[in-house]
Amino acid sequence: MLQEELPEFVKALVNNNLIVSAFHNHWNFTNPTILYVHFQSVESPSSFEHKFVKASHVLNN
């Protein structure tokens, strides 16, 4: 994801009770800066999917 999208997306994940375990980049000197976000939970896959989809709506605005 883009660096400027990170704060709002992380907040949405946390608000949906998903655990953010890491965010980082794999590539130096990219423009724009691209970050990878790791998040998790212990629940059924369908519940996890529902929470992720709900949180990801902040990226479409």
The per-residue pLDDT for 32 is: 93
- Going by pLDDT thresholds of 50, 70 and 90, the confidence category of residue 61 is low
DSSP letters, 28-48, are: TT-SS-B-EEEEE-SS-HHHH
**pLDDT tens by residue, 6-59:** 999 999 999 999 999 999 999 889 899 999 999 999 999 999 999 999 999 998
Q: Is pLDDT above 90 for 60?
A: no
* Model-wide pTM > 0.85: yes
Q: Which two tokens stand for residue 16?
A: 């949906």
